[in-house]
Chains A and B, each alone.
Chain A
Amino acid sequence: MLPGLAVLVFSLVVPLGFSVYYSLTDWDGLGAYQHVGLDNYRAILTDDPVFWRSLRNVLLLLAATVFLQNPIAFALAALLSRLSARASRLLRTVYFVPAVLSLVIVAKLWVDVFNPTFGILNKLLRAVGLDALAVSWLSNPHTSLAAVIWIILWQGFGWALLFYYAALMTVPRDLEEAARIDGAGRLATYRHVIIPYLAPMIATVIVIDVISSMKQMELIYLTTQGGPGQLTQFLGVYLYQKAFVTSEYGYGNALSVLFVVVSAGLTLLVHRGMRVISR
């Protein structure tokens, strides 16, 4: 109990305490600083459109993960669970490849695919006569957010599939058989038997999605760095930039404290929601 508590205190409470302390200062990370009370928080909440945009982008990414990536991953996992063992294993490996690639490689890969002049995507579009669609995906204000969200979903897809596949493997055969005997069709079996059975697992995946959406940082940093303008800005990148690019260390710490608050709030909400649904 005590060692566990000590780890928790030193790895979580103490750093968070420092963050809270610095968030109340105007420290630039180097020299002397002054205490400014809640000024940083006030500025973030009332006078910082970039903060709200990056929060909105996090929620958009979360929505895309939960409502696009997860259902597709679930459907595919369900299909895979019906295939022969060999075919299923091969396909699972293929789908999981993006998840084991280094983030830097994934980012460079997609930056190249999306390259407006030499990228394969625009070459394909032009080849089939869709020249009008061949835009500069990552720097066009209309497509940049969708493009980075796509890359994140693409990379995370393997994990979602793996979780759901593993979960589906735990569904007892007799449960499905009982449903079939009772006259339930395949879809009805999924809807009324399998999905409710897997609800705790689905909740876990969604909590993981919340966490990974919140802390999304590296991929944005490696592709758009929040641009063009601040259209693809995410909280993780924004607080890093504030602390270490513009040397507003105090402000960056205030952002990170809010970050923790929002993450904790979202996680609680998901838990509460799932409890209501599974009831």
Chain B
Amino acid sequence: MKITAFLVLALALLPTVRASAQTKVTIKMGDNLPDRNNTWGAIVEQINGEFKAAHPGTEIVTESYPDQPYQQKIKIYATAKQLPDLFKFWSVVSLLKPMIDGGFVAPLDRAEFESLGYLPGALDTNTYNGKLYGIPVSMDFWVIYYNKKLFKDAGIDHVPATLDELYAVIPKFKAKGIIPMTTDGKDAWPLSITFDQLVWRIAGEKGLPRQALDRKIKFTDQVFVQAARALQQLVKSGLFQEDLMVSDYDAARNLFGQGKAAMFLMGSWELGLGTDKSFSDEFRANVDAFKFPVVKDGKGTVDDLMAWYGGNYVVSASSKNIALDKQYLVFYAKRFPELAWEKQAALPAQAVKARPSDTPVARSILRIIAESKATSGTPALDLSTPRFKDDNENAIRELCSELITPEVFVKKLDAAAEKAAKK
């Protein structure tokens, strides 16, 4: 009797179980935005919320880690064949190419994104063999953020336009117990981008690192030695926080946000500093950005900008709901630029309009890109093999820790480029 009752009950429940299993779909997402309450991460959460509301029965589970651990995690997931359905990654030339070659990434329909206001060339950076594989999220370029109040307190009335002027402000900040500038030295890539920028400022010609990677010129050429010397000098001069080489992204950002450092050398994606609620009102009101200074006797101008399209979103080829994932991407591409600019969290890879309510730092970011005369494209460390990237970063670390001379540094870089070219 009991068994019959149980069977009846089970049979009665069966359709509902099946029905809910049918309608409930989970999209697994991965990104490098661990802070879900502020700026960029908060926007993704909002988009997710809106998408779930528009698609009842859809659940979105996100895994987030800081930038570098996230990159490693994705590689491990790829090796273990456990990639999230949708995930943030980097442009084709750098990290995405091996993923596409390995068949891990599903192609997208470019026509669906053509009319969504992408900046010229933005979709092209994610196109490979004629197919679109990812949608670019941000327009990235290299700037220096600064704290206007700390500048005023130290009696500095204008931002440094040359490296010499930059050196001149160091003692003024140090006298006040303020770190002149911070950046992420542990991960080395910010210093590597700075090196590229210095090469350009000195030579006045864009794309020299790329030519060296293509083996048309050599990294041992004089201009690279000069740039390496300039970079090492920046570190030696006491410009940066003392533990530069072991302080990571968040540590560097926090020193700046907490008013302990006057400048922060980083990309345009940090324009959200102007709205980040984890920092004080005073800081948010005073944060602004200026162009990387020119080098004395250099041939480059202040408007030669290290700029490229940043991360992108891609769909895993092994996702069970590729159609739904693609719907999400279209939804995201429509919502993100609007929300990102409304919240002043990031500069999207799609056109945005300046508004009177823009924060000062957002206005500066728009002005810097508008005034730029030339842009670099992807930085050198991301133009070659993962091994070259690592060799490049290690050589930069050694240079900035003063373990090697600029001459040895360029030799190491050249050897790494030679090795990568042979592959």
Q: Do A and B come from one complex?
A: yes
Q: Please determine whether A228 and B387 come into contact, CB atoms closer than 8 angstroms.
A: no
Is B179 interfacial (CB-CB < 8 Å)? yes
For chain B, residues 387 to 403, give those with C-beta under 8 angstroms from any C-beta of chain A. 387, 389-390, 394, 397-398, 401-403
In the bound complex, how far is the Cα of B403 from the Cα of A248, in angstroms?
Answer: 25
- Neighbouring B residues of A31 by C-beta, 8 Å: 98, 101-103
In the bound complex, how far is the Cα of B402 from the Cα of A28, in angstroms?
Answer: 32
Given contacts A31-B101, A139-B243, contact A244 B75 (CB under 8 A): yes
| B408 → A minimal CB distance (Å) | 11
In the bound complex, how far is the Cα of B243 from the Cα of A138, in angstroms?
Answer: 7
Which one of A32, A118, A227 lies within 8 Å of B246 (CB-CB)?
Answer: A227
- Neighbouring A residues of B404 by C-beta, 8 Å: 229
Chain A minimum-CB-distance residue to B185: A139
Q: Please determine whether B390 and A246 come into contact, CB atoms closer than 8 angstroms.
A: yes
Q: Which of A109-117, A154-162, A197-205 contacts B (4 or more CB under 8 A)?
A: A109-117
In the bound complex, how far is the Cα of B98 from the Cα of A149, in angstroms?
Answer: 37
Chain A minimum-CB-distance residue to B398: A229
Which one of B99, B102, B390 lies within 8 Å of A241 (CB-CB)?
Answer: B390
Which one of A30, A114, A116, A229 lies within 8 Å of B397 (CB-CB)?
Answer: A229
0/1 interface trace, chain B 64-92, chain A, CB 8 Å (1 if under) = 00000001100110110000000000000
Query: How many residues of A are in contact with the other chain, CB < 8 A?
Result: 30
Is A187 interfacial (CB-CB < 8 Å)? no
| B150 → A minimal CB distance (Å) | 15
| A157 → B minimal CB distance (Å) | 23
For chain B, residues 315 to 359, give those with C-beta under 8 angstroms from any C-beta of chain A. none
Is B417 interfacial (CB-CB < 8 Å)? no
- Neighbouring A residues of B101 by C-beta, 8 Å: 30-31
Q: Please determine whether A246 and B102 come into contact, CB atoms closer than 8 angstroms.
A: no
What is the number of contacts between chain A and chain B, taking CB atoms within 8 Å?
85
Is A23 interfacial (CB-CB < 8 Å)? no
For chain A, residues 110 to 157, give those with C-beta under 8 angstroms from any C-beta of chain B. 111, 114-118, 136, 138-139, 141
Is A29 interfacial (CB-CB < 8 Å)? yes
In the bound complex, how far is the Cα of B76 from the Cα of A118, in angstroms?
Answer: 36
- Neighbouring A residues of B98 by C-beta, 8 Å: 28, 30-31, 247
Which one of B75, B76, B186, B386 lies within 8 Å of A225 (CB-CB)?
Answer: B186
Interface centre among B78, B104, B186, by most chain A C-beta atoms within 10 angstroms, is B186
| A56 → B minimal CB distance (Å) | 16
- Neighbouring A residues of B402 by C-beta, 8 Å: 141
Q: Please determine whether B403 and A136 come into contact, CB atoms closer than 8 angstroms.
A: no
| B411 → A minimal CB distance (Å) | 15
- Neighbouring B residues of A246 by C-beta, 8 Å: 386-387, 389-390
- Neighbouring B residues of A81 by C-beta, 8 Å: none
Chain A minimum-CB-distance residue to B248: A225
Is A249 interfacial (CB-CB < 8 Å)? yes
Q: Please determine whether B72 and A229 come into contact, CB atoms closer than 8 angstroms.
A: no
- Neighbouring B residues of A227 by C-beta, 8 Å: 186, 245-246, 397, 401
Is B44 interfacial (CB-CB < 8 Å)? no
Which one of B75, B241, B403 lies within 8 Å of A229 (CB-CB)?
Answer: B403
Given contacts A30-B99, A246-B386, contact A138 B246 (CB under 8 A): yes
Chain A minimum-CB-distance residue to B78: A30
- Neighbouring B residues of A28 by C-beta, 8 Å: 98, 386
Given contacts A30-B98, A31-B101, A228-B398, contact A141 B243 (CB under 8 A): no
Is B242 interfacial (CB-CB < 8 Å)? yes
- Neighbouring B residues of A245 by C-beta, 8 Å: 71-72, 386, 390
- Neighbouring B residues of A29 by C-beta, 8 Å: 75, 78-79
0/1 interface trace, chain A 234-253, chain B, CB 8 Å (1 if under) = 00000001001111110000
Is A230 interfacial (CB-CB < 8 Å)? yes
Q: Please determine whether B79 and A111 come into contact, CB atoms closer than 8 angstroms.
A: no
- Neighbouring B residues of A57 by C-beta, 8 Å: none
Q: Please determine whether B102 and A30 come into contact, CB atoms closer than 8 angstroms.
A: yes
| B248 → A minimal CB distance (Å) | 9
Q: Please determine whether B403 and A228 come into contact, CB atoms closer than 8 angstroms.
A: yes
Is A223 interfacial (CB-CB < 8 Å)? yes
Q: Please determine whether B245 and A228 come into contact, CB atoms closer than 8 angstroms.
A: yes
Interface centre among A139, A141, A231, by most chain B C-beta atoms within 10 angstroms, is A139
Q: Please determine whether A229 and B387 come into contact, CB atoms closer than 8 angstroms.
A: no
For chain A, residues 39 to 62, give those with C-beta under 8 angstroms from any C-beta of chain B. none
Additional A-B contacts beyond A111-B246, A228-B398 (7; CB < 8 A): A30-B99, A116-B241, A228-B246, A229-B401, A241-B390, A244-B72, A247-B386
Name 30 A/B residue pairs within 8 A (Cβ), A-sorted.
A28-B98, A30-B78, A30-B101, A116-B243, A117-B242, A139-B244, A139-B245, A139-B246, A139-B401, A141-B401, A141-B402, A227-B245, A227-B397, A228-B245, A228-B246, A228-B397, A228-B398, A228-B401, A228-B403, A229-B394, A229-B398, A229-B401, A241-B390, A244-B75, A246-B386, A246-B389, A247-B98, A247-B386, A248-B386, A248-B387
* B residues neighboring A (CB under 8 Å): 71-72, 75-76, 78-79, 98-99, 101-104, 179, 185-186, 241-246, 260, 386-387, 389-390, 394, 397-398, 401-404
